[in-house]
């Protein structure tokens, strides 16, 4: 298929302002179709989920359609899709439910490559259960996290391993299927943070070997919320704290309170939008596989240009050089504070913030302290002109 980025950009009202957005890893802009789906859902009669009134049926349909859409995006069963307000929230919820079964001496493995939302909930749950936390480090120069690094922390007492599918600052994509094999051979569960990978690749959670896979639609052209998917039987085995009158069915037992129906309609629209960039007329899952592969190709091509341009500037330091990576780069400019790079670029309408972006352990491990560095990440709507503007902005700081 031919990926036409200018055609796609016309669907994004926010781009009309002329800003080059490199902060997609923090949250992407949305196509008009997503905003319209939210407004349409809110303007139709809407009640709590139910089967009697049309408004109840609409709410029910919105939820079931969103579960089917997410299942098509990630390659899982609709009944295994749990909606939440954020990935952080749902990871805390799952950690507390899992930790009910942990005992003193059990072990939980986390990595320094992860966003804090896939570290702290496990560290704190382990603390409450008297379990031991074991840390997986990564290579400071390359930013690679290998299977052997993970295997070195596994034991017969390992109950859970939490690892990212892609680092939100360094872009590193660990070899998840191989990690999953090792984790399962140790008799443990694998909780994968898919927040940063999902916008950039076709996902098949079964092929990745994830027992749980969390992601957030606001990173892939959708509205602000999070979700986690798992096999329904995995969810059946867990009993999170919940209100007495609320449903004990799976996945509803994990969804505390009333779901944000209009937001879920936006998520379905975002997934349909992604599928709509495919050229074939096949089912949605097949179209998503095709369109995500095309997005990956488009972003990788632009990313080569971005990396080459940054590497050509002798005063730019690129943090990490992983072989398998998302189109996300973390960099500093010699002699210019990261915050100044961020502000100078912003004055040129180039949005590339500086921070540790909650990948606090990674930032500290790299010697960047709590402040991190400048991050530039590509999105499906990024184009060559955006990249040239960022490169010119950085070059102007060092001229
Ligand atoms: C890799 C990664 N994991 C988790 C999160 C947290 O997601 P949420 O804001 O939905 O809690 C983020 C957000 O930036 C992220 O980039």
As a whole number of angstroms, the distance between CA 4 and CA 273 comes to: 14
Average pLDDT of the chain?
A: 98
Q: Whose CA is nearest to atom 15 of ligand 1?
A: 195
Please name the residues in contact with 342: beta carbons below 8 A apart, sequence gap of 6 or more.
352, 353, 354, 374
**Cα–Cα dist 379/217, whole Å:** 13
Q: Is 355 in the pocket of ligand 1 (CB under 6 A)?
A: no
3-state secondary structure of 90: helix
Distance, CA of 74 to CA of 58 (rounded, Å): 24
- Which two three-digit tokens encode residue 336? 């210019």
Choose one of 93, 115, 226 to mutate for the ligand 1 pocket test, by most ligand atoms within 8 angstroms of C-beta: 115
Q: What is the pLDDT of residues 301-342, one digit of tens each?
A: 999 999 999 999 999 999 999 999 999 999 999 999 999 999
| Tens-digit pLDDT profile for residues 378-390 | 999 999 999 999 9
Does ligand 1 come within 6 angstroms of the Cβ of 291?
Answer: no
Q: Is the CB of 87 under 6 A from ligand 1?
A: yes
DSSP 47: -
Structure tokens at 192: 């994968």
How many angstroms is it from 117 CA to the middle of ligand 1?
7
Ligand 1 atom at minimal distance to the Cα of residue 25:
16
- In this structure, the dihedral spanned by the alpha carbons of residues 180, 176, 194 and 221, taken in order and rounded to 10 degrees, is -140
**In the predicted structure, residue 2 carries a pLDDT above the cut 90:** no
Look-up: residue for tokens 């992604």?
A: 274
Instruction: Check pocket membership of 228 for ligand 1, CB cut-off 6 A.
Output: no
Closest ligand 1 atom to 218 CA: 10
Residues 32-79: tens digit of each pLDDT = 999 999 999 999 999 999 999 999 999 999 999 999 999 999 999 999
With 0-12 / 13-18 / 19 or more C-beta atoms within 10 angstroms meaning exposed / middle / buried, residue 52 is exposed
Cα-based angle 74, 329, 276 (whole degrees, multiple of 5) = 35
Residue 353 CB less than 6 A away from ligand 1: no
pLDDT value for 1: 65
Query: Could you tell me if the CB of 294 is within 6 A of ligand 1?
Result: no
| Ligand 1 atom closest to residue 86's alpha carbon, by position in its atom list | 10
Q: Is 185 exposed, middle or buried (0-12, 13-18, 19+ CB in 10 A)?
A: exposed
Q: Which pLDDT does position 399 carry in this prediction?
A: 86
Three-point CA angle 142, 148, 151, nearest 5°: 135
Nearest to 215, CA basis, from 329, 81, 357: 81
pLDDT at residue 398, as a whole number: 93
**Is a pLDDT exceeding 80 seen at residue 153?**
yes
Q: Quick check: CB of 158 below 6 Å from ligand 1? A: no
Atom of ligand 1 nearest to the CA of 117: 4
- Is the Cβ atom of 226 under 6 angstroms away from ligand 1? yes
pLDDT at 5: 97
Ligand 1: which of 216, 326, 355, 377 to mutate, most ligand atoms within 8 Å of CB? 216
pLDDT digits over 235-282, tens only? 999 999 999 999 999 999 999 999 999 999 999 999 999 999 888 889
């Amino acid at each position: 298929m031919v990926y036409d980025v200018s055609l796609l950009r016309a669907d994004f009202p926010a781009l009309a302002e002329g800003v080059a957005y490199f902060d997609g890893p923090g949250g992407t802009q949305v196509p008009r179709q997503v905003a319209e789906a939210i407004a349409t859902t809110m303007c139709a009669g809407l009640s709590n989920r139910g089967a009697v009134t049309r408004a109840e049926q609409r709410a029910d349909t919105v939820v079931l359609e969103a579960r089917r859409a997410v299942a098509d995006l990630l390659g899982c069963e609709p009944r295994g899709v749990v909606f939440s307000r954020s990935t952080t929230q749902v990871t805390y919820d799952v950690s507390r439910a899992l930790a009910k079964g942990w005992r003193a001496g059990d072990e939980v493995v986390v990595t320094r490559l992860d966003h804090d939302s896939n570290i702290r909930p496990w560290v704190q749950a382990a603390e409450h259960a008297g379990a031991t936390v074991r840390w997986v480090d990564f290579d400071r120069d390359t930013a690679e996290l290998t299977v052997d690094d993970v295997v070195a922390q596994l034991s017969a007492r390992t109950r859970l391993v939490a690892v990212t599918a892609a680092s939100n600052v360094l872009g590193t994509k660990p070899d998840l299927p191989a990690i999953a094999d090792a984790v399962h051979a140790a008799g443990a569960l694998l909780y994968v943070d898919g927040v940063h990978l999902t916008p950039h690749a076709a996902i098949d959670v079964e092929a990745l070997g994830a027992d749980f896979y969390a992601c957030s639609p606001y990173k892939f052209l959708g509205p602000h919320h999070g979700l986690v998917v798992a096999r329904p039987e995995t969810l059946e085995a867990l009993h999170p704290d919940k209100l007495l009158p609320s449903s004990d069915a799976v996945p509803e037992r994990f969804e505390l309170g009333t779901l944000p129906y209009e937001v879920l309609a936006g998520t379905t629209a975002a997934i349909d939008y992604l599928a709509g960039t495919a050229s074939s007329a096949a089912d949605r899952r097949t179209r998503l596989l095709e369109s995500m592969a095309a997005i990956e190709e488009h972003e990788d091509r632009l990313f080569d240009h971005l990396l080459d341009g940054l590497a050509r500037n002798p005063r730019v330091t690129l943090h990490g050089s992983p072989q398998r990576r998302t189109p996300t780069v973390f960099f500093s400019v010699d002699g210019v504070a990261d915050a100044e790079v961020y502000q100078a670029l912003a004055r040129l309408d180039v949005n590339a913030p500086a921070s540790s972006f909650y990948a606090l352990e990674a930032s500290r491990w790299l010697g960047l302290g709590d402040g991190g560095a400048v991050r530039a990440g590509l999105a499906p709507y990024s184009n060559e002109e955006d990249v040239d503007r960022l490169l010119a902005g950085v070059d102007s700081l060092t001229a």
